[in-house]
Amino acid sequence: MDAVDFQILAELMVDAQTPFSRVAKRIGVSHETVRKRYEKMKNEGTIRQCTVLVDGHKLGDEGTVFLMLSCAREEKKKEVMESLKQIPDLYMIIELIGDYDFFAWARLKNLHQLAQLIGDIRNLGNIDRMETLLLTQTYFTFSLTPEVAMKCNGMDLPKRP
Amino acid sequence: MAKDISLKVYRLRAMSTGSQVDELDALILSILIEDARSSLKNIAKKCGLTSSAVLRRIERLRQEGIIVGTRLAVDGEAFGYPFYATLLIDAADSLEPQVKQTIRAMEDVIICAESIGRYNLCTLIRGRDIHELNNVTSIIKNIRGVNRVAINIWTGNVYYNYAKTFEQANITKADKNGRS
């Protein structure tokens, strides 16, 4: 990671779809350099995800569910993670250290779907505690560093000043 | 039976918000969710449409507010922020708005969202080191109205599945009788 990499990331964090040629012009390197470095950062995992944000409300979603799960036995954690990955409505699963072992995000479409989802997770076994948090937001933006991305909480999206 | 009812609710909801998403839109969405930088040419090939038709559809999805923006998720470690934690906060109901405002104004807070459940605020925080996470947590604990804070630190083990949850089958349920 050098200054050019940071600049490329900073441009793309405002709008991930900015054409490479525009990024190149703005930071004063060649188009090819931007492309190569982008590919490299993607392959190395520095760029984890490049995605469009979808307003779930427009597709009929009610919001988002945050699930906090606690595993009954330490040695079953891997197994539980693998089974959680198979549940289609969960879109992010994070392993935790603390009161709970997993933090999962899911779409909240309606109460019927929520009941189904919770039932599916309970059926996996090995989970002894579950906390369900219902949120009205359907999409989230992240800002990783104060210097690079604008601060965004909840619904606010980054905007070019 | 229950499934039928939920399908109906979906259709009604799609109608009430005025947005219509057909199978091709859903396919385009899932491709873009997987990679926002997919070229029009590539999307067109996968959908069996022309590039200009794809562009028109994407523009419409943006206009209708179905696509609200893009996100480049970067590994925090590259920026010197390797630590993340989920804080579950139980705040007194009467002071919740103030608590939320105070927390949102803090620099290392990524998300602070209201939730329904045992905890009424769910917050994601970041830190350069474990001390910083601890500092943020203790500041939050000291806000007037906060009764209890549960901290859960993220391990590096994160699994993204965003694209799969928006696959065709999941979206088109909303609109079985969509535009042809």
- Residue B12 predicted with pLDDT over 80: no
Instruction: Give domain status of residue B148, yes or no.
Output: yes
Cβ–Cβ contact A109 with B under 8 A: yes
Instruction: Give domain status of residue B89, yes or no.
Output: yes
**How distant is the Cα of B17 from the closest Cα of chain A, in angstroms?**
6
Fold category of A3-44 in CATH: Arc Repressor Mutant, subunit A (1.10.10)
Instruction: Say if the Cβ atoms of B161 and A113 lie within 8 Å.
Output: no
In chain B, % helix, strand, coil (3-state, to 5) comes to 50, 25, 25
Instruction: Say if the Cβ atoms of B5 and A50 lie within 8 Å.
Output: no
Domain around B96:
76-153
Fold category of A56-135 in CATH: Alpha-Beta Plaits (3.30.70)
Amino acid at B108: D
* CATH number of B141's domain: 3.30.70.920
Q: What is the pLDDT along chain A (161 residues), one digit of tens a residue?
A: 778 888 888 888 888 899 999 999 998 999 999 999 999 999 988 888 898 988 888 888 888 899 999 988 888 888 899 999 888 888 889 899 888 999 998 888 888 999 999 999 999 888 888 888 888 878 776 555 444 444 333 333 333 33
The torsion angles phi and psi of A5, rounded to 5 degrees, stand at: -55, -45
Residue with tokens 């994601």: B124
- CA–CA dist B87, B169 (Å, integer): 34
The 10s digit of each residue's pLDDT in B88-104 is 999 998 998 899 889 98
- CA–CA dist A103, B165 (Å, integer): 17
Residue B55: the pLDDT is 95
- Let me know whether B81 and B122 are in one domain: yes
Nearest residue, CB atoms, B79 vs list A17, A97, A148: A148
Instruction: Say if the Cβ atoms of B36 and A88 lie within 8 Å.
Output: no
pTM: 0.76
Section B72-92 average pLDDT: 84
The C-alpha angle B165, B170, B175, rounded to 5 degrees, equals 145
Instruction: Give domain status of residue B164, yes or no.
Output: no
Section B9-17 average pLDDT: 46
**How distant is the Cα of A58 from the closest Cα of chain B, in angstroms?**
6
Residue range(s) occupied by CATH 1.10.10.10 in chain A: 3-44
Cβ–Cβ contact A133 with B under 8 A: yes
- Let me know whether B128 and B113 are in one domain: yes
Section B67-81 average pLDDT: 81
Count of domains for chain B: 2
ipTM here: 0.79
